[in-house]
Structure formats: C-alpha cells, structure tokens
Structure 1
Amino acid sequence: MKYASEGQREPAVGRTAGPVPATSGAAEQPRQASHDEQRGTRNRVARSILDHGPSTAAELALRLELTQAAVRRHLDALAAEGVVEPREKRVYGTRGRGRPAKAFALTDCGRDAFDQAYDQLACDALRWIAESAGGGEKGEAAVAAFARARLAAQAEGYREAVESAPPEARTQALAKALTADGYAATARSAPNPQLGEQLCQHHCPVAHVAERYPQLCEAETEVFSRLLGTHVQRLATIAHGDGVCTTFIPKAGRASGARAGKAAHHTGGRTTQTTTASASTAGRNPA
C-alpha cells in the first residue's frame, strides 16, 4: 500500500500567470492548518525515536506509514532545531556494500521536550531533607539551609558580572546574568524612579518546586541583597500566582526603611502597595 507524501498538493487547474489577488484572512486558515499538521507529524517522528531508540528514515517511514522522503524532511527540520542528531547505525555481523544507513537519535534537548519528572524528584528530595531533619521547624530550617547553599553557589557565577559594573548598572548586570540562566530577567525603573528599580524575572525554572518550598524564593532574595549590597524586597513571585517575579531595589542613599518598602508596583494587571518585608516572608506574596 502506498502512502501519500506529506505536503503533496493537487495539481493546479486553470491557474493563470500573474499576481495573486488579495484574499481575506480565511485564506490563512489552510496555511496554518498545514503548518500544524507538519508540526504534529514532526512530533510523531520524534516520539517514535523516543519509543524505539535510534532509527533510520526507512524504519521511521515503515512505523509511521509515511514515505521516506517525507520522513527525511521532518528529520532535517528536527536536526536543525537540535532535537535529533544523525549517528552511524551499528551493524552486527557482516557489513554489506555501501555506506551504512544513518540512524537518528534524540539529543538531550529533544528528550527534554517530552514529559520529565524533575519537579517531582526535587520535591521528593526536599521532603526527604525536611523529614530527615526531624520535620516541623527543624525540617523547614534544613530546607532553608539547602536553598541558601544552592543559591550561594549559583550567585558566584553572577558576582563577577555585578561587581565589574558601575553601581548604577548593577541591577541591569544581574538581570543579564539571570537571563543567561533561563530566568528571562529585565531591570527597569520603579513607578517612582526616585525610589529605585525593579528586577523582573519573567520565567522561573523552579516555580513548581518553589510553590511548595518558598525557602527557594527567600534564599534567592537574600542572594540579590548580597550581590547588590543593599536591602531588597520581593514584591511578587511566579510560584505564588503572580505573572512575574518582581524584586524592588531601593536607590542607595535615597530610599530606606518604610519609605523604601512602600513602593507601588504593577504586576499581572494590578497595582499593589506593599510594606517592607522581612527575609522570612521574602518568598511569599505581599499581604
């Protein structure tokens, strides 16, 4: 049984040369549907490699009931995205003539695109730490100690970038360092620029774990304070339902105490007033 090659089009009938007249937005729908279909099949190719291990184009075509030409197109696209990589297929026994077929295997990036249990593993590990310490306040303290040790090691990678920047550019330098670690961070003036700046993290790689263990957010806030050499205040966190992790950094010598902590910020479509938070509440939503 033959299978039609993906993306195969019917021959144009009665089509004349010349510019194509403008059409309504409805014309974009088939194009979008075709793109979605291509992406869906590409995912099937990657999933088949995940389920069966390194595979040749011929093996994938047989499994997925596609032509080898269609499979190769998808493999080329997946390789360009860094999802798969070609390898020389192992041959057991006597090798025949000709070059051995290439087998395509998932890269680490490709595997990460599928279901992972890292969040659950991290939560299980932190729960074990808490229970091993005796639970209760002792358990919370043990988790906090782990969080501080983890963030301290992470901060060493940021210290050089922050300390080499002039004082007025250190928040921006920290934002760039965080972005390199996947936090998509930016620095901007606070609503009242005379008071200070805001460090905004638009992504949190550990948000699901931090929702259960706010000590991670608290330790991060402490690290920001040490790196920037000033008291900072966590105004919002993704882990607790806000759209962005927002940290207020007061302008040195101008904002202190309650005046520094009473900075209005705009997060997730609403403006909020908060008062200075202690380190013990730095990872939680402001009241």
Structure 2
Amino acid sequence: MIVLGQTSTRTQILNMLKFQGRLAVSDMAKQLGITEMAVRRHLHTLERDGLIQSTLVRQSKGRPANLYSLTSAAEELFPKNYHTLTLELLDDICETDGKEVVDELFRRREERLTNTYARQFDGKNLEDRVKELAELQNSKGYMVEWDKLGEGRYTFVEYNCPIAQVANRYNQACRCELGFFRNVLEGARVERPECKAKGGANCVYYIEAERKEA
C-alpha cells in the first residue's frame, strides 16, 4: 500500500499527479531526475494496483501521447475531512430544527440502506445473509469477521468503524446500523452488546435465528 508520508518514487509520482493533473512520462522523468524507462516501471506497478490510468491524447505535432492521471482509488489515499463537514451540518440542524429532525434523518438513512440492499438478501437462508452482510460491510471498510457458534447462531464483529467520528457524537448512527442489520436479517434476533461509540473495543453483534413454536 502506498503511504503518502513516505518519499518513495511511486509516492512522488502520485503527489505529482495530484498537484499537476495529467502528465506524460517525459514530464515525470524530467521532474524526478530519472530515466523514462524507470518512470514506466513505476507507472506499470501503479497501474496494476489500480492507482493511475492512462489516456491517449492527440498532439498538435508528432504522435499521440499517453497522459497519466489518478484513479478514484488513488484519490482515497489522500487525507479527507468528510466527518467534520457532516458533524457541522448535523450540529446546525440540531440547533436550528431540533433533535427530532436529526432522528428523522437517520431513520430515513436506515430506510434508504434497507431499500438499496434488500434485493441482495432476498431468498437466502440466514447464514448466506450473514455472509452477504459481511461482504457488504467489508466493501465499506468495516473490517468484518463472522463466525458460526452453532445451529442458527453467529457472531459478527466489526473491527473498524468508518463513521466513528459521527457515531461518537450522534448515537442515532449506531441505531441506524443496528436497524439496518435487523431489516436485512429479518427472521433473526440481532443484538449488539458491544459498540465502539459506547467505549467498546469493537462493534460486536450476536445473531440468532428465531425459534419457531412447535
């Protein structure tokens, strides 16, 4: 993984593309003080890792040239401050319109998440739905591990919380996540005895199939 605080040649290339936009191999070689062949080797690795992309651009003179730019995956390596904006907006809404409006926003988020992903869970048994939920949360950066404890019983642990800064101040975010889990795991009892926003080491869920009366 590229760490932007380091001064490796590949990191310098990423920073260069971030500051200057699309560049040709010759431009990068000149600025880095290395050969074009050396630059191409680094570009090959970065392209393989999905961090840069090339576009063939026609020149007014000479042959078309490949210009390199960052991909959206590379953009995510640079510092972001989304949570500050989110918290400021929520604070303003809470102050001007009241806590009830914030509650409603998170309720609508839970509903939107359920409507967006419900089809992925339709027709699956509980274990397959737990697996599907783990894959979904992992794609969002939650770093999930789940385990089967016995027939119809599972643990589901999230080692990272991408919305931690928001959840620490607005616990409605945690209730929204729990509600979403219960919606897509319909027919199961879902409890969360440990939550990062409430001082837990991780977010831990217990999932158990509801027992049908004989």
Using structure 1 for the length normalisation, give the TM-score.
0.63
Q: 2:137 aligns with which of 160, 178, 186?
A: 178
Could you say which residue in structure 2 is the equivalent of 1:96?
A: 61
Question: What are the equivalent positions in structure 2 for 1:1-287 lying under 5 Å apart?
Answer: 40-89=8-57, 91=59, 95-97=60-62, 99-133=63-97, 138-139=98-99, 141-167=100-126, 169-190=128-149, 193=150, 196-229=153-186, 230-240=188-198, 242-253=200-211
* Counterpart code for 1:146: L
Give the 4+ runs in structure 1 shifted more than 4 A. Answer: none
Q: Give the unaligned 5+ runs of structure 2.
A: 1-5
Q: How much is the aligned-residue C-alpha RMSD, in angstroms?
A: 2.7
Deviations 1:180-217 (A, max 9, x none): 44434343235xx4893222223332222222222111
What is the aligned partner in structure 1 of residue 3 from structure 2? Answer: none
Aligned residues between the structures: 206
1:128-163 CA distance string (max 9 Å, x none): 222231xxxx32x32222122112211223323333
CA distances 1:13-39 after superposition (whole Å, capped 9, x unpaired): xxxxxxxxxxxxxxxxxxxxxxxxx98
Call closer, same or farther: CA 1:69–1:124 in 2, change over 3 Å.
same
Q: Which runs of 5+ in 1 are unaligned?
A: 1-37, 255-287
Task: Report the Cα offset of residue 231 of structure 1.
Answer: 4.2
Amino acid in structure 1 at the alignment position of 2:61: G
Find the aligned partners of 1:246 and 1:159 in 2 and give their Cα distance. 22
TM-superposed deviation, 1:43: 0.5
Q: What amino acid is the match of 1:67?
A: T
Contact 1:176/1:186 (<8 A) preserved? no
- CA pair 74-105 structure 1, distance change in 2 beyond 3 A: same
How far apart in 1 are the matches of 2:127 and 2:196? 27
Q: For residues 162 and 62 of structure 1, do their structure 2 counterparts lie closer, same or farther at Cα, with a shift above 3 Å needed? A: same
Change (3 A) 1:239 1:90: farther
Compare CA radii of gyration and give the structure with the larger one. 1
Q: Percent identity?
A: 27
Does the aligned pair in 2 maintain the 1:172–1:186 contact within 8 Å? no
Q: From the two aligned structures, give the one with the greater strand fraction.
A: 2
